[in-house]
Chain A
Amino acid sequence: MSETTAASSSPPAAPIPSHLELFLAFFRITVTGFGGTLPWTRRMFVEEKRWLSEQEFNDLYALCQFLPGPNIVNLASVFGSRMQGPTGAVAAWTGFLVLPFFLMLAAAMLYSRFGDVDAVRRVLGGIAPAAAGLIVATVAKMAMPLFRGAGPGLLMLIATAFAIGVMRWPLLVVMLVVAPTSIALAWWVRR
């Protein structure tokens, strides 16, 4: 990482990771990352390997939040490419996805075989509402700052949730209307 933003608390002193190290680092994140991979990624990159300073990590994560798609998958691509170019991005991307892919493949096979077994149906019938609860909590956490802001954000949140969640309108159509409106309002509020 050549382009740091001025003062960073702990200077990264580690050498640039190789392709194999990139692959293994992201592979390990998926092994340990139970219930959210972000904290593990931060810990490994900043504290353990010292590949990035805290500031650099935040900056990288901000970029990946700005972009669409799965955040940590994007992070693997950007970090991998900064370390080793396009092939580094491929190494990190593959390292991050290979194990979860085969794990989920196994789960999918088990589900297609045993999904109709009564005991399995009952257990999943209990877990499914809990999984919905996890998302409710995520929404509550993310929405809190918007309640304090008192800007147009809350209105856009409700409009989007209503159009997609209640009306069940197509995502592409809703986004083409809602995203430019919300961005224009944010621009206007910040003048």
Chain B
Amino acid sequence: MKAGGDILFTLAVQFIIMSLLAMGGANSVVPEMHRLVVELNPWMSEREFADMFAISQAAPGPNVMLVTLIGYHVAGFSGAVVTTVAMCGPTAVLAYFFGRVWDRFKHARWRIAVQAGVVPVSVGLIAATAIVLTRASVHSWLALAITAVTALVTYQGRWNPLWPIGIAGLLGFANLV
């Protein structure tokens, strides 16, 4: 899909807002990305969204690069640039300024309360991401088993997560999922 300025502007505004609300990193705003590109706009299907998330997890590099995939799919090269810069730029500027005054309020009571309050919210956001992605990608009992086993193995931390991902890919290739 090729896009005009309207779509680029929407992408820029929406991803800047998302980045500023991304408490707990990029994975916490995946449901909002889904809302924007699957539910509110006809920009991609449920399956395409799940595919792109899978690619972003299996590829090297930070998880936030999901936005590059989404941007390209919605609006080509300029879309990819817009979503990436919108997601990674403003918060980096914010971090730049906060980094200079951090020591002044590092031990302040309000700052500790803010952090203590934000942590459960950010975990809740990532839990919402887990719900949205499971709904988008699990359509069979074997798929559910893949989600469960990957979660278990990763939680225990003994295996590199690339193992369950690779095995799941093979199962998919064999047309079992």
A interface with B by C-beta (< 8 Å): 3, 30-31, 33-35, 37, 59, 62-78, 81-82, 86, 89, 93, 96-97, 99-101, 103-105, 107-109, 111-112, 115, 119, 122-143, 146, 152-154, 156-161, 163-166, 168, 170-172, 175, 178-179, 182-187, 189-190
Contact of A111 among B52, B138, B167 (CB under 8 A): B52
Indicate whether A112 sits within 8 Å of B133 (C-beta atoms), given known contacts A67-B98, A128-B54, A171-B29.
no
In Å, the complex CA distance between A75 and B93 comes to 11
Determine the distance from Cα of A149 to Cα of B60 in the docked complex, in whole angstroms.
Answer: 35
The interface residues of chain B lying within 8 Å CB-to-CB of A71 are: 25
Count chain B residues whose beta carbon lies closer than 8 angstroms to a beta carbon of A. 112
Query: Which residues 50-67 in B have Cβ within 8 Å of A in the complex?
Result: 50-65
Residue in B closest to A107 when the chains form the complex, CB atoms: B55
Residues of A within 8 A of B144 (CB): 129
Contact check, A69 vs B118: say whether CB atoms are below 8 A apart. no
Which of A133, A153, A163, A186 sits near B150, CB closer than 8 Å?
A133
Docked-complex contact B124 and A157, CB < 8 angstroms: yes
- Secondary structure of the B side of the interface? helix
Chain A to chain B contacts (Cβ below 8 Å), 19 pairs: A30-B62, A31-B60, A67-B95, A69-B20, A77-B96, A89-B96, A97-B88, A100-B59, A122-B175, A126-B176, A128-B137, A132-B130, A133-B148, A160-B128, A171-B32, A171-B35, A179-B121, A187-B110, A190-B113
Q: Are B115 and A165 in contact (CB under 8 A)?
A: no
Given contacts A103-B61, A134-B154, A165-B128, contact A183 B147 (CB under 8 A): no
Q: Judge whether B103 is part of the interface by a CB distance below 8 angstroms.
A: yes
Instruction: Assess whether A138 is in contact with B26, with CB atoms less than 8 Å apart.
Output: no
Q: Which residue of B lies closest to A153 (CB)?
A: B120
Query: Do residues B21 and A175 form an inter-chain contact, with CB atoms below 8 A?
Result: yes
Of A68, A105, A129, which contacts B77 at CB under 8 A?
A105
Report the minimum CB–CB distance from B101 to chain A (whole Å). 10
Say yes or no: B113 contacts A187, CB within 8 Å: yes
Contact B120–A131 (Cβ < 8 Å): no
A122 CA / B168 CA spacing, docked (Å):
10
Most buried by A among B22, B26, B68, B136: B68
Question: Do A179 and B117 touch across chains, with their CB atoms under 8 A apart?
Answer: yes
Chain B 21-50 interface mask (CB, 8 Å, partner A; 1/0): 111111101011001000100000001101
B120 x A130 contact (CB < 8 A)? no
Q: How far is the CA of A167 from the CA of B162 in the complex (A)?
A: 32
State in angstroms the CA–CA spacing of A59 and B99 once bound together: 11
Contact between chains at B17 and A132 (CB < 8 Å): no
**Smallest CB-CB A-B distances: 9 pairs:** A126-B172, A69-B91, A160-B124, A133-B150, A165-B128, A183-B117, A100-B61, A165-B131, A108-B72
